[in-house]
């Protein structure tokens, strides 16, 4: 995909995001305005995994733990079964 196609594809996620997380859409609109780029530019960067894999079935899990002497931060990509 060229960048214009990526932005067009990313816009397909906007109704879902608007319905569930309008505050993030508003923030991305503000970032776009402040950066002097378009909203689809910022949206595409934020839904890059969805663009790359084309659906909502992928994802990741992250967790952190802080103990008295150490801490752990971890993440996996749930779609990758290995």
Topology classification of domain 3-57: Arc Repressor Mutant, subunit A (1.10.10)
Give the domain ranges of the chain: 3-57
Which positions of the chain have pLDDT values less than 70? 54-59, 78-82
Instruction: Give the model's pLDDT for residue 62.
Output: 78
pTM, entire model: 0.66
Could you write out the three-class secondary structure of the chain?
Answer: CCHHHHHHHHHHHHHHHHHHCHHHHHHHHHHHHHHCCCHHHHHHHHCHHHHHHCCCCCCEEEEEEECCCCEEEEEEECCCCC
Instruction: Give the model's pLDDT for residue 78.
Output: 66
Instruction: Give the model's pLDDT for residue 61.
Output: 75
Instruction: Give the model's pLDDT for residue 37.
Output: 97
The answer to whether the CB of 65 falls within 8 A of the CB of 72 is yes
């Amino acid at each position: 995909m060229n960048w214009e196609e990526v932005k067009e594809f990313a816009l397909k996620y906007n109704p879902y995001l608007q319905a569930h997380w309008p505050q993030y859409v508003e923030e991305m609109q503000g970032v776009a305005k402040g950066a002097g780029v378009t909203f689809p530019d910022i949206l595409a960067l934020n839904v890059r995994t969805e663009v790359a894999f084309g659906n909502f079935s992928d994802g990741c899990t992250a967790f952190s733990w802080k103990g008295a002497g150490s801490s752990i931060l971890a993440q996996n990509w749930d779609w990758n079964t290995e």
